[in-house]
Structure 1
Amino acid sequence: MQPTDSDFFTLLDESYTRLLGTSLVPDRDMSSAEAARWLYEDAPFGILAHDTQADPVFVYGNLRAQRLFGYTWNELTALPSRLSAEAPERSERQAFLEQVTRDGYVDGYRGVRVRKTGERFWIERATVWQLFDRDGVYRGQAAMIPHVSDIA
Protein backbone atom coordinates (compact mmCIF):
# COMPACT_ATOMS: atom_id res chain seq x y z
CA MET A 1 0.00 0.00 0.00
CA GLN A 2 1.13 3.52 -0.74
CA PRO A 3 0.97 6.12 2.08
CA THR A 4 -1.59 8.21 0.18
CA ASP A 5 -3.81 5.31 -0.93
CA SER A 6 -7.32 6.75 -1.43
CA ASP A 7 -9.09 3.50 -0.62
CA PHE A 8 -7.30 3.16 2.72
CA PHE A 9 -8.02 6.81 3.50
CA THR A 10 -11.70 6.12 2.83
CA LEU A 11 -11.62 3.16 5.26
CA LEU A 12 -9.98 5.31 7.96
CA ASP A 13 -12.22 8.33 7.49
CA GLU A 14 -15.53 6.53 6.99
CA SER A 15 -14.95 4.35 10.08
CA TYR A 16 -14.00 7.41 12.13
CA THR A 17 -16.94 9.47 10.86
CA ARG A 18 -19.43 6.65 11.43
CA LEU A 19 -18.31 6.25 15.06
CA LEU A 20 -17.48 9.83 16.07
CA GLY A 21 -19.71 11.89 13.81
CA THR A 22 -16.93 13.98 12.31
CA SER A 23 -14.30 13.60 9.60
CA LEU A 24 -10.55 13.29 10.06
CA VAL A 25 -10.02 16.05 7.50
CA PRO A 26 -11.08 19.68 7.96
CA ASP A 27 -12.29 20.24 4.39
CA ARG A 28 -15.01 17.83 3.27
CA ASP A 29 -14.83 19.29 -0.25
CA MET A 30 -11.42 17.68 -0.85
CA SER A 31 -11.30 14.74 -3.22
CA SER A 32 -10.34 11.47 -1.55
CA ALA A 33 -6.89 11.73 -3.20
CA GLU A 34 -6.40 15.25 -1.80
CA ALA A 35 -7.67 14.19 1.63
CA ALA A 36 -5.40 11.13 1.67
CA ARG A 37 -2.41 13.32 0.84
CA TRP A 38 -3.39 15.89 3.53
CA LEU A 39 -3.80 13.17 6.17
CA TYR A 40 -0.43 11.65 5.33
CA GLU A 41 1.64 14.81 4.81
CA ASP A 42 0.00 17.71 6.64
CA ALA A 43 -2.24 16.50 9.46
CA PRO A 44 -1.28 18.09 12.80
CA PHE A 45 -1.90 14.78 14.57
CA GLY A 46 -0.46 11.31 14.28
CA ILE A 47 -2.48 8.52 12.69
CA LEU A 48 -1.55 4.87 13.03
CA ALA A 49 -3.43 1.77 11.90
CA HIS A 50 -2.78 -1.92 12.31
CA ASP A 51 -4.21 -5.00 10.64
CA THR A 52 -6.13 -7.99 12.00
CA GLN A 53 -3.30 -10.53 12.39
CA ALA A 54 -3.02 -12.39 15.69
CA ASP A 55 0.01 -10.15 16.36
CA PRO A 56 -1.16 -7.00 14.50
CA VAL A 57 1.34 -5.13 12.32
CA PHE A 58 1.09 -1.45 11.44
CA VAL A 59 -0.20 -0.92 7.92
CA TYR A 60 -0.28 2.88 8.07
CA GLY A 61 1.45 5.71 9.86
CA ASN A 62 1.30 9.30 8.64
CA LEU A 63 4.40 11.52 8.63
CA ARG A 64 3.49 12.98 12.05
CA ALA A 65 3.31 9.47 13.54
CA GLN A 66 6.58 8.50 11.86
CA ARG A 67 8.29 11.52 13.44
CA LEU A 68 6.75 10.80 16.85
CA PHE A 69 7.92 7.19 16.89
CA GLY A 70 11.17 7.66 14.92
CA TYR A 71 10.46 5.14 12.17
CA THR A 72 10.39 5.43 8.39
CA TRP A 73 7.33 4.26 6.46
CA ASN A 74 9.01 0.93 5.59
CA GLU A 75 10.15 0.34 9.17
CA LEU A 76 6.80 1.28 10.68
CA THR A 77 4.74 -0.86 8.29
CA ALA A 78 6.81 -3.92 9.24
CA LEU A 79 6.47 -3.32 13.01
CA PRO A 80 4.11 -5.30 15.23
CA SER A 81 2.00 -2.61 16.90
CA ARG A 82 2.62 -4.06 20.37
CA LEU A 83 6.26 -2.97 20.08
CA SER A 84 5.24 0.70 20.05
CA ALA A 85 3.87 0.48 23.59
CA GLU A 86 4.81 -0.73 26.99
CA ALA A 87 2.75 -3.65 28.17
CA PRO A 88 0.02 -2.18 30.35
CA GLU A 89 -1.26 -3.87 33.45
CA ARG A 90 -3.43 -6.77 32.25
CA SER A 91 -6.75 -5.69 33.78
CA GLU A 92 -6.30 -2.14 32.42
CA ARG A 93 -5.54 -3.47 28.95
CA GLN A 94 -8.50 -5.87 29.06
CA ALA A 95 -10.89 -3.08 30.13
CA PHE A 96 -9.56 -0.86 27.33
CA LEU A 97 -10.02 -3.58 24.69
CA GLU A 98 -13.51 -4.37 25.93
CA GLN A 99 -14.50 -0.70 25.67
CA VAL A 100 -13.17 -0.42 22.09
CA THR A 101 -15.07 -3.60 21.15
CA ARG A 102 -18.27 -2.51 22.91
CA ASP A 103 -18.35 1.12 21.77
CA GLY A 104 -16.35 0.87 18.54
CA TYR A 105 -13.90 3.48 19.83
CA VAL A 106 -12.27 4.99 22.91
CA ASP A 107 -11.72 8.73 23.14
CA GLY A 108 -9.37 10.52 25.50
CA TYR A 109 -6.93 7.61 25.84
CA ARG A 110 -3.59 8.20 27.56
CA GLY A 111 -0.74 5.72 27.52
CA VAL A 112 3.02 5.28 27.46
CA ARG A 113 4.60 4.64 24.08
CA VAL A 114 8.15 3.82 23.02
CA ARG A 115 10.17 5.41 20.22
CA LYS A 116 12.55 3.44 18.03
CA THR A 117 15.37 4.80 20.23
CA GLY A 118 13.75 3.27 23.33
CA GLU A 119 12.75 6.68 24.69
CA ARG A 120 9.36 6.59 26.43
CA PHE A 121 6.67 9.27 26.03
CA TRP A 122 2.98 9.81 26.72
CA ILE A 123 0.32 9.86 24.05
CA GLU A 124 -2.58 11.93 25.32
CA ARG A 125 -6.20 12.55 24.30
CA ALA A 126 -5.88 9.79 21.70
CA THR A 127 -8.83 8.21 19.94
CA VAL A 128 -8.65 4.51 19.10
CA TRP A 129 -11.31 3.09 16.80
CA GLN A 130 -12.20 -0.05 14.93
CA LEU A 131 -11.90 -0.11 11.16
CA PHE A 132 -14.87 -1.62 9.36
CA ASP A 133 -15.21 -1.40 5.60
CA ARG A 134 -18.46 -0.61 3.77
CA ASP A 135 -19.42 -4.29 3.82
CA GLY A 136 -19.03 -4.44 7.60
CA VAL A 137 -15.80 -6.46 7.45
CA TYR A 138 -13.41 -5.79 10.32
CA ARG A 139 -10.07 -4.51 8.94
CA GLY A 140 -8.16 -3.53 12.10
CA GLN A 141 -7.83 -0.60 14.45
CA ALA A 142 -6.56 2.94 14.10
CA ALA A 143 -5.42 5.63 16.50
CA MET A 144 -5.40 9.40 16.20
CA ILE A 145 -2.77 11.00 18.45
CA PRO A 146 -3.34 14.74 18.89
CA HIS A 147 -0.90 15.36 21.74
CA VAL A 148 2.24 13.86 23.24
CA SER A 149 4.41 14.78 26.19
CA ASP A 150 7.74 13.70 27.60
CA ILE A 151 7.96 11.45 30.60
CA ALA A 152 9.78 13.28 33.36
Structure 2
Amino acid sequence: MTRISEFQEQHAKRLVDSFKIVTGKDLIKAEKDKSLGLQLFEAPFVVVSHNGGDDPVLNYGNLTALNLWEMAWKDFTKTPSRKTAEPEFSDDRAAMLDQAKEKGYFDNYTGIRISSSGKRFLIQKAIIWTVPPVVGSDDLDAHKKGQAATFSSWAYL
Protein backbone atom coordinates (compact mmCIF):
# COMPACT_ATOMS: atom_id res chain seq x y z
CA MET A 1 0.00 0.00 0.00
CA THR A 2 1.20 3.49 -0.87
CA ARG A 3 1.99 5.81 2.01
CA ILE A 4 1.57 9.55 1.75
CA SER A 5 2.86 12.34 3.97
CA GLU A 6 0.82 14.81 5.99
CA PHE A 7 1.82 17.47 3.44
CA GLN A 8 0.45 15.34 0.59
CA GLU A 9 -2.81 14.83 2.48
CA GLN A 10 -3.25 18.53 3.25
CA HIS A 11 -2.14 19.63 -0.21
CA ALA A 12 -4.56 17.19 -1.86
CA LYS A 13 -7.39 18.86 0.07
CA ARG A 14 -6.21 22.33 -1.10
CA LEU A 15 -6.07 21.09 -4.70
CA VAL A 16 -9.50 19.44 -4.59
CA ASP A 17 -11.13 22.40 -2.81
CA SER A 18 -9.57 25.08 -5.04
CA PHE A 19 -10.46 23.14 -8.20
CA LYS A 20 -14.11 23.02 -7.10
CA ILE A 21 -14.14 26.73 -6.25
CA VAL A 22 -12.69 27.96 -9.56
CA THR A 23 -14.25 25.45 -11.98
CA GLY A 24 -17.42 24.37 -10.20
CA LYS A 25 -16.44 20.75 -10.93
CA ASP A 26 -15.14 17.90 -8.78
CA LEU A 27 -11.51 16.96 -9.32
CA ILE A 28 -12.13 13.56 -7.76
CA LYS A 29 -15.07 11.80 -6.13
CA ALA A 30 -14.23 11.12 -2.49
CA GLU A 31 -14.29 7.49 -1.37
CA LYS A 32 -15.14 6.78 2.25
CA ASP A 33 -12.65 3.92 2.64
CA LYS A 34 -9.57 5.84 1.46
CA SER A 35 -8.00 9.19 2.40
CA LEU A 36 -8.42 12.02 -0.10
CA GLY A 37 -4.64 12.35 -0.34
CA LEU A 38 -4.21 8.70 -1.26
CA GLN A 39 -7.07 8.83 -3.76
CA LEU A 40 -5.55 11.82 -5.54
CA PHE A 41 -2.05 10.33 -5.46
CA GLU A 42 -3.28 7.06 -7.03
CA ALA A 43 -5.69 8.68 -9.51
CA PRO A 44 -5.42 7.46 -13.13
CA PHE A 45 -5.03 11.05 -14.40
CA VAL A 46 -2.27 13.62 -13.90
CA VAL A 47 -2.37 16.19 -11.11
CA VAL A 48 0.62 18.50 -10.59
CA SER A 49 1.19 21.80 -8.85
CA HIS A 50 3.88 24.37 -8.29
CA ASN A 51 4.42 26.98 -5.61
CA GLY A 52 4.01 30.71 -6.09
CA GLY A 53 7.69 31.61 -6.30
CA ASP A 54 9.24 33.88 -8.92
CA ASP A 55 10.62 30.74 -10.61
CA PRO A 56 7.93 28.27 -9.44
CA VAL A 57 9.07 24.85 -8.25
CA LEU A 58 6.89 21.77 -8.49
CA ASN A 59 5.50 20.88 -5.07
CA TYR A 60 3.13 18.05 -5.96
CA GLY A 61 2.83 15.33 -8.54
CA ASN A 62 0.60 12.29 -8.23
CA LEU A 63 1.80 8.82 -9.20
CA THR A 64 0.55 9.18 -12.79
CA ALA A 65 2.53 12.44 -13.13
CA LEU A 66 5.66 10.94 -11.57
CA ASN A 67 5.51 8.04 -14.01
CA LEU A 68 4.86 10.31 -17.01
CA TRP A 69 7.79 12.60 -16.15
CA GLU A 70 9.88 9.59 -15.10
CA MET A 71 10.85 11.04 -11.73
CA ALA A 72 10.76 10.12 -8.07
CA TRP A 73 8.86 12.38 -5.65
CA LYS A 74 12.06 13.81 -4.13
CA ASP A 75 13.39 14.86 -7.54
CA PHE A 76 10.07 16.00 -8.97
CA THR A 77 9.42 18.34 -6.03
CA LYS A 78 12.78 20.08 -6.52
CA THR A 79 12.21 20.76 -10.23
CA PRO A 80 11.41 24.27 -11.51
CA SER A 81 8.13 23.85 -13.36
CA ARG A 82 9.55 25.61 -16.43
CA LYS A 83 11.80 22.58 -16.94
CA THR A 84 8.79 20.35 -17.70
CA ALA A 85 8.48 22.04 -21.10
CA GLU A 86 11.06 22.49 -23.84
CA PRO A 87 12.56 26.03 -23.91
CA GLU A 88 11.08 26.88 -27.33
CA PHE A 89 7.58 26.45 -25.86
CA SER A 90 8.24 28.55 -22.75
CA ASP A 91 6.52 31.71 -24.09
CA ASP A 92 3.27 29.81 -24.84
CA ARG A 93 3.43 28.16 -21.41
CA ALA A 94 4.06 31.51 -19.66
CA ALA A 95 1.10 33.17 -21.47
CA MET A 96 -1.20 30.31 -20.47
CA LEU A 97 -0.05 30.47 -16.83
CA ASP A 98 -0.58 34.25 -16.75
CA GLN A 99 -4.10 33.85 -18.13
CA ALA A 100 -4.85 31.13 -15.57
CA LYS A 101 -3.56 33.37 -12.78
CA GLU A 102 -5.64 36.33 -14.00
CA LYS A 103 -8.92 34.45 -14.54
CA GLY A 104 -8.56 31.72 -11.90
CA TYR A 105 -8.22 28.88 -14.39
CA PHE A 106 -7.52 28.00 -18.01
CA ASP A 107 -9.45 25.20 -19.67
CA ASN A 108 -8.60 23.01 -22.67
CA TYR A 109 -4.85 23.67 -22.75
CA THR A 110 -2.72 21.71 -25.21
CA GLY A 111 1.07 21.72 -25.08
CA ILE A 112 4.25 19.70 -25.43
CA ARG A 113 6.12 18.54 -22.36
CA ILE A 114 9.33 16.60 -21.80
CA SER A 115 10.18 13.86 -19.31
CA SER A 116 13.40 13.66 -17.32
CA SER A 117 14.82 11.19 -19.87
CA GLY A 118 13.95 13.45 -22.82
CA LYS A 119 10.72 11.77 -23.97
CA ARG A 120 8.42 14.35 -25.52
CA PHE A 121 4.66 14.12 -25.09
CA LEU A 122 1.64 16.16 -26.04
CA ILE A 123 -0.82 16.94 -23.27
CA GLN A 124 -4.38 17.70 -24.29
CA LYS A 125 -7.46 19.16 -22.63
CA ALA A 126 -5.55 20.22 -19.52
CA ILE A 127 -7.11 22.46 -16.91
CA ILE A 128 -4.77 24.84 -15.09
CA TRP A 129 -6.04 26.61 -11.98
CA THR A 130 -4.92 28.90 -9.18
CA VAL A 131 -4.24 27.37 -5.77
CA PRO A 132 -4.54 29.63 -2.70
CA PRO A 133 -1.49 30.30 -0.53
CA VAL A 134 -0.62 28.14 2.46
CA VAL A 135 -1.66 29.83 5.70
CA GLY A 136 0.83 29.66 8.56
CA SER A 137 3.83 28.44 6.55
CA ASP A 138 7.40 29.63 7.19
CA ASP A 139 8.16 29.32 3.46
CA LEU A 140 7.92 32.77 1.85
CA ASP A 141 6.89 31.29 -1.52
CA ALA A 142 4.08 29.40 0.22
CA HIS A 143 2.38 32.74 0.92
CA LYS A 144 1.95 33.40 -2.81
CA LYS A 145 -0.69 31.81 -5.00
CA GLY A 146 0.50 28.72 -6.81
CA GLN A 147 -0.98 26.88 -9.74
CA ALA A 148 -1.99 23.32 -10.50
CA ALA A 149 -2.89 21.32 -13.58
CA THR A 150 -4.79 18.17 -14.37
CA PHE A 151 -5.20 16.19 -17.57
CA SER A 152 -5.99 12.66 -18.60
CA SER A 153 -5.02 12.80 -22.25
CA TRP A 154 -1.44 12.63 -23.51
CA ALA A 155 0.45 11.05 -26.38
CA TYR A 156 4.15 10.42 -26.83
CA LEU A 157 5.70 12.15 -29.83
TM-score normalised per structure 1: 0.85
Q: Confirm or deny that 1:147 pairs with 2:148.
A: no
Partner of 1:10: 13
CA contact (8 A) 2:53 2:144 kept: no
SS of the counterpart of 2:27?
coil
Partner of 1:39: 40
Partner of 2:140: none
Partner of 2:111: 111
SS of the counterpart of 2:111?
strand
SS of the counterpart of 2:123?
strand
1:96-132 superposed Cα distances (whole Å, 9 cap, x missing partner): 2342123200111010000111111101111110101
Report the Cα distance in structure 2 between the residues aligned to 1:73 and 1:134, rounded to whole angstroms: 20
SS of the counterpart of 1:5?
helix
**1:82/1:89 CA distance change after superposition, 3 Å:** closer
CA contact (8 A) 1:50 1:58 kept: yes
CA contact (8 A) 1:131 1:138 kept: no
SS of the counterpart of 2:13?
helix
Aligned residues: 146
Report the Cα distance in structure 2 between the residues aligned to 1:130 and 1:77, rounded to whole angstroms: 18
Percent of aligned pairs with the same amino acid: 32
TM alignment of 1:17-28, pairs within 5 A: 17-27=20-30
CA contact (8 A) 1:3 1:60 kept: no
Following superposition, the deviation at residue 89 of structure 1 comes to 6.1
CA contact (8 A) 1:129 1:142 kept: yes
**1:3/1:109 CA distance change after superposition, 3 Å:** farther
Residue ranges of structure 1 left out of the alignment (5+ in a row): none
Partner of 1:122: 122
Following superposition, the deviation at residue 2 of structure 1 comes to 2.5
TM-score normalised per structure 2: 0.82
Report the Cα distance in structure 2 between the residues aligned to 1:102 and 1:14, rounded to whole angstroms: 19
Give the residue type in structure 1 aligned to 2:96. F
1:47-86 superposed Cα distances (whole Å, 9 cap, x missing partner): 1110111111111000000011100111101111111112
Residue ranges of structure 2 left out of the alignment (5+ in a row): 136-142
Give the residue type in structure 1 aligned to 2:37. A
Following superposition, the deviation at residue 36 of structure 1 comes to 1.1
CA contact (8 A) 1:19 1:104 kept: yes
Indicate the RMSD between aligned Cα atoms, in angstroms.
2.3
